[in-house]
Every structure is written in C-alpha cells, then in structure tokens.
Amino acid sequence: MIELRNPTEIEQMRPAGLFVAEVLTALTEAADVGVNLLELDGLAHRMIKERGAESCYIDYHPSFGAMPFGKVLCTSVNDAVLHGLPHDYRLRDGDLLSVDFACSVDGWVADSAVSLVVGTPRPEDLALIEVTERALVAAIGQATVGNRLGDVSHAIGEVARAAGLGINLQFGGHGVGRTMHGDPHVPNDGRPGRGLRLEPGLVIAIEPWFLATTDRIYTDADGWTLRSADGSRGAHSEHTVAITSDGPLVLTARS
C-alpha cells in the first residue's frame, strides 16, 4: 500500500535522514586501507546505540536472504554491489567500497548509500561511481509533483545507457516511512510519462546501482552479498527523497 505523509510527518522524518547522513559521513571518513569491514559495522553500531536509534538491518530476513542479516551495514567491495554482509576483511589499496545504511529514529526510517575508493583510485572506478551519482541527481530532479514514477526511473536508465552500462531491474528503490521497504517499487529504468503519478507526501528511496561490464548478478555463498556475474566492479548511490509541493526534499543529504 502506498502511503502519503503530511508536512508534519515529513518534518518528523528529518532526524532519521540527518542521522543516516551523519553515520555515512563518519563511515566514509573511517574507511581506509587496513580497516576491517567489521570495524566499520562496529562504528555504525555504536552510533546507533548512542543515538537511541534502531537498526533496520540486523533482524531483516526477506525471502531472498538466507538468514537474518545480523549486521547494521551493507558493505559491498569490488565485484559486490548490493547487500554486502560485513565480514572479516581488511580493505586493500584500490578497493571500491559501497556502504548502504538504514535505520529508524523515533519510529521513522531513512535509507542511503554511498560508494568510494579506498587508497589509490582506478579512473574507471571513479567514473563508475560518478555515473551512479549523476543518475541519482537526474532521478531526484524528476521527483516532482505531477510527474510519474516512470519519469524518475527513466532518468536513471538514460544516464546508464549514455555511459554504456547495462541495467539490472531485480533490485531498485522503494517507498520509505515507518518501515524500510514499502510501496512503490522504484525501478532503475522505465518509460517517461508512465506509472504512478507523484503526489506531495510520497517518500521514496532512489538508488541507482550499476556494474562495469554486465547487468547480471549472483548471490555469494554467505547468502546475502550480490556480486557481478563476470567479476566486474559495481557502485551504488542512494538517497531518501520526499516529494513536496516545493520540489524534492533530500532527507539524507550529506554536508
């Protein structure tokens, strides 16, 4: 069911968005060569506890997950692009890391993701990250009252196609509110002028993710981490966005 939030409720969602942005900023600053993925998860866990927030991931167990997730972050490295389960791995020079984080503050959820290169970057990795970020900006620009969901999805797909990238439609954006995943589904490609008409109060997570040379993925033996079928690297960018009469409001914007 699609739920619309009134202006008071959207204001109540702001603290969750600000906190998610704060945690992702701390994690990007902490990520460095030699840092263990479990250390990053531990940092987020401490920040959640200190804030009195609630993790959306730790007990999360959808049909596609082998077991409850058990961690508070998704940390996807190199050929992993989504749902990366933190494990005993120390980041190496040149690793491409995507961090996805969602939590609830005072009963309201926000969800966001960022990709970065640890240590010495490869130009092709920076270019891939830039495409996901540009697709996210383009999609947010279409998240306006009177447009349709297909306009948002088409903006993502248009950027990907222009960069010569394939588009996987198995996982995409989603509604956000009292829970992490709600209606509507927000695909990373679509037809302009089609689909749900966007109204004030709709809150969605928009999350373009792309792989360098394929659009096919498989699930790692850990039962969660999604990796590229050909070993190529992936990147992921995401924001929680409220559609308002004054334009799109990015609740998870990082300073």
Q: How many CA atoms lie within 13 Å of 8's alpha carbon, on the beta-carbon side?
A: 0
State the pLDDT at residue 3.
95
**Residue ranges covered by each domain of the chain:** 7-250
Per-residue confidence in pLDDT tens, the chain, 255 aa: 899 999 999 999 999 999 999 999 999 999 999 999 999 999 999 999 999 999 999 999 988 888 999 999 999 999 999 999 999 999 999 999 999 999 999 999 999 999 999 999 999 999 999 999 999 999 999 999 999 999 999 999 999 999 999 999 999 999 999 999 999 999 999 999 999 999 999 999 999 999 999 999 999 999 999 999 999 999 999 999 999 999 999 999 998
- Whether the full predicted model's pTM is greater than 0.85, yes or no, is yes
pLDDT for the residue 66: 86
Q: Are 218 and 229 in contact (CB under 8 A)?
A: yes
| Cβ proximity of 55 and 72 under 8 Å | yes
If one looks up domain 7-250 in CATH, what number appears?
A: 3.90.230.10
Q: Is 164 exposed, middle or buried (0-12, 13-18, 19+ CB in 10 A)?
A: exposed
Exposed, middle or buried, 146 (CB in 10 Å: 0-12/13-18/19+)? Answer: exposed
What sign does the dihedral 6-10-12-13 (CA atoms) show?
positive
Which residues have CB under 8 Å from 131's CB, separation 6+? Answer: 159, 160, 163, 165, 210, 235
What residues contact residue 55 under an 8 Å CB cut-off, 6+ apart? Answer: 45, 48, 72, 103, 104
Determine contact, residues 121/94, Cβ cutoff 8 Å: yes
Alpha-carbon span 26 to 92, nearest angstrom: 19
Q: What is the pLDDT of residue 255?
A: 83
